[in-house]
């Protein structure tokens, strides 16, 4: 074997299996918005409509990835928690922002989905 190739193969053999890879997912959730419903029908319409929304549409995600080939790789992902989608739905549905969802507001919001 060529004498120049042996040191290169030794370096590759040493560093190849020694890769360092870290991956971390952080869930950042916010506190749930306090809301009351005018009546049971308003609550039912709101929650039924909310349950039909795809969960991934309510999420925000950011990724950070740093890597040095062969030696080091680090990935950090931040996703929002489930309360983010609920709070967003309350903001959309409660049009007068009084923390009280009326049956009329719930029906209008449900129809716009």
Q: What is the mean pLDDT of residues 43-51?
A: 95
Q: What is the mean pLDDT of residues 44-54?
A: 92
Contact call for residues 85 and 58 (beta carbons, < 8 A): yes
Backbone angles phi, psi at 39, to 5 degrees: -155, 180
Contact call for residues 58 and 88 (beta carbons, < 8 A): yes
What share of the chain in percent tops pLDDT 90?
41
Which tokens belong to 29? 């959730």
**Is position 13 within any domain?**
no
**Is position 104 within any domain?**
yes
Looking at every residue in the chain, the average pLDDT score rounds to 82
Q: Assess whether pLDDT exceeds 90 at residue 50.
A: yes
**Is position 11 within any domain?**
no
Task: Place 81 in a pLDDT band, splitting at 50, 70 and 90.
Answer: confident
CA dihedral 97, 98, 100, 102 (to 10 degrees): -70
Give the residue among 56, 64, 58 at the shortest CA–CA distance from 25: 64
pTM for this entry: 0.63
**Is position 102 within any domain?**
yes
- More confident: 76 or 44: 44
**Is position 54 within any domain?**
yes
Domain total in the chain: 1
Q: What is the mean pLDDT of residues 27-43?
A: 93
**Is position 46 within any domain?**
yes
- More confident: 55 or 32: 32
**Is position 53 within any domain?**
yes
Number of Cβ atoms within 10 Å of the Cβ of 82:
14
Backbone angles phi, psi at 107, to 5 degrees: -65, -45
pLDDT at 73: 80
Structural domain boundaries enclosing 64: 19-112
């Amino acid at each position: 074997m060529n004498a120049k190739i042996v040191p290169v193969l030794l370096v590759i053999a040493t560093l190849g299996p020694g890769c360092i890879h870290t991956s971390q997912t952080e869930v950042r959730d916010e506190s749930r918005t306090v809301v009351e419903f005018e009546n049971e029908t308003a609550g039912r319409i709101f929650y039924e409509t909310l349950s039909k929304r795809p969960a991934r549409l309510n999420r925000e995600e950011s990724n950070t990835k740093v890597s040095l080939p062969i030696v080091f790789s680090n990935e950090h992902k931040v996703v929002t928690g489930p309360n983010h989608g609920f709070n967003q739905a309350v903001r959309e549905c409660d049009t007068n922002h009084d923390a009280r969802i009326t049956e009329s507001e719930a029906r209008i919001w449900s129809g716009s989905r």
